[in-house]
């Protein structure tokens, strides 16, 4: 019976991952560590995790990894762990500019403690959630994993630091460290601060949506089910002991086109509040996923229209909570 340690499991990607793991491998055990960071409503995180609380084999640990060294983690997770899937992080490019030390503490120190725990407990497999933000401003599209990296926000810097910290532990202690660079993940459960969720909420309420810049910025939007399949493949990957892999959707969508697609899916008209471009935001993200295809058999299938429709169905089901 496999035992997975998933950090950040009450969040958007984490809760979708846990659901998929239980569906794929009945009988597994999952320990979820989450500090329920109030970056957005903890009620949403409680909703995300509610369906697992009575699931046989599931355990929730409320803990801030930045406060917990290896001994403290061992005290709450004493059993053998087959793989660590580290999704927990303080999220958000723009807020990281306001409080960079908080991001350093959560995203680097927290990872350090978890890696020390992995060394102590001889846990070989470590999957780390990195970010497309590490590429910074780079016009060599689509982005390959060996591009020169020039982060332009504290958040991006912490994710790049995490990749390098993983490389150190791979070299020193033989941990298999797989860093997955996520590209603008969306779908049911998406964080309310992200564009698709934020725009949908504003459109439903008849409020203007904030458009930073002229709407020409573009993102490689990746549906959460596709991202989760990539994560699960990384958990099983044994082909090498250190890899950095893009998990994107191999095409970029402009902000204006995203808004048009949301209008089509919701049947609502967006009122745009045009604002200056924000520091720390990159103009475009666009993933080369050939490495993911080769190593993880990763082939995203979900179109933007289908993904937005599924998100809107979820939004309507949870409308009372999400419109608070």
Average pLDDT over residues 124-144: 95
Average pLDDT over residues 263-288: 92
Query: For residues 260 and 244, what is the distance between their CA atoms, to the nearest angstrom?
Result: 34
The residue annotated as part of the active site, out of 155, 186, 298, 312, is 155
Percent of all residues in the chain with a pLDDT value above 70, rounded to a whole number: 100
Q: Say whether pLDDT at 320 is over 90.
A: yes
Domain of 118, CATH number, reads 3.40.50.720
Q: Say whether pLDDT at 68 is over 90.
A: yes
Q: Say whether pLDDT at 250 is over 90.
A: no
Structural domain span for residue 21: 3-322
pLDDT band of residue 219 (cuts 50, 70, 90) is: very high
pLDDT band of residue 1 (cuts 50, 70, 90) is: confident
pLDDT tens digits for range 82-101: 999 999 999 988 899 999 99
The mean pLDDT value of the chain amounts to 96
pLDDT band of residue 278 (cuts 50, 70, 90) is: confident
Query: For residues 203 and 268, what is the distance between their CA atoms, to the nearest angstrom?
Result: 7
Tokens standing for residue 316: 């309507």
Q: What confidence score (pLDDT) does residue 39 get?
A: 86
What is residue 323's DSSP assignment?
A: T
| Structure-model confidence comparison of residues 158 and 38, the more confident one | 158
**What one-character-per-residue DSSP string does 42-98 give?**
HHHHHHHHHTTTTSTTEEEEE--GGG--HHHHHHH--S--SEEEE------HHHHHH
232-268 per-residue burial string, b: 16 or more CB within 10 A, e: under 16: bbbbebeeeeebbbbbbbbebbebeebbebbeebbeb
Average pLDDT over residues 263-290: 93
Q: What confidence score (pLDDT) does residue 14 get?
A: 98
If we measure between CA atoms, which residue out of 141, 148, 151 comes closest to residue 251?
141
This prediction has a pTM of 0.96
Contact call for residues 143 and 121 (beta carbons, < 8 A): no
Q: Say whether pLDDT at 298 is over 90.
A: yes
Chain centre distance of CA 156 = 13
Average pLDDT over residues 247-251: 93
By the 10 Å C-beta count (0-12 exposed, 13-18 middle, 19+ buried), 215 is classed as: middle
Tokens standing for residue 32: 């979820």
Q: Say whether pLDDT at 40 is over 90.
A: no
pLDDT tens digits for range 166-210: 999 999 999 999 999 999 999 999 999 999 999 999 999 999 999
Q: How many domains does the chain have?
A: 1
Q: Is 173 a catalytic residue?
A: no
Q: Flag the least confident range among 23-27, 84-88, 232-236.
A: 23-27
């Amino acid at each position: 019976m496999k035992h997975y340690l998933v950090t950040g499991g009450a969040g958007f990607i984490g809760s979708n991952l846990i659901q998929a793991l239980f569906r794929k491998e009945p009988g597994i055990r999952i320990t979820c560590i989450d500090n329920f960071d109030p970056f957005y409503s903890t009620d949403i995180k409680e909703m995300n995790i509610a369906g697992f609380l009575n699931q046989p084999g599931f355990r929730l640990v409320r803990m801030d990894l930045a406060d917990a060294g290896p001994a403290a983690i061992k005290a709450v997770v004493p059993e053998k762990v087959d793989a660590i899937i580290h999704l927990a992080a303080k999220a958000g490019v723009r807020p990281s500019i306001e409080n960079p030390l908080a991001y350093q503490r959560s995203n680097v120190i927290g990872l350090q403690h978890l890696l020390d725990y992995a060394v102590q407990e001889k846990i070989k497999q470590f999957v780390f959630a990195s970010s497309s933000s590490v590429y910074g401003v780079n016009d060599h599209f689509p982005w390959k994993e060996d591009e020169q990296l020039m982060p332009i926000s504290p958040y991006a810097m912490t994710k790049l630091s995490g990749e390098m910290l993983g490389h150190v532990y791979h070299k020193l202690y033989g941990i298999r460290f797989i860093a997955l660079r996520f590209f603008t993940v969306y779908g049911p459960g998406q964080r309310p601060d992200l564009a698709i969720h934020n725009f949908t909420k504003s459109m439903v309420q008849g409020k203007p949506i904030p458009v930073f810049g002229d709407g020409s910025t573009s993102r490689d939007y990746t549906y959460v089910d596709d991202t989760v399949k990539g994560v699960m493949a990384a958990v099983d990957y044994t082909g090498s002991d250190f890899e950095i892999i893009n998990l994107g959707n191999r095409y970029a969508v402009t902000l204006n086109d995203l808004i048009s697609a949301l209008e089509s899916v919701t049947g609502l008209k967006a009122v745009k509040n045009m604002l200056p471009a924000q520091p720390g935001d990159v103009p475009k993200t666009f993933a080369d996923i050939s490495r993911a295809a080769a190593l993880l058999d990763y082939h995203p299938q979900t179109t933007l229209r289908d993904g937005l429709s599924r998100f809107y169905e979820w939004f309507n089901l949870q409308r009372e909570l999400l419109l608070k």
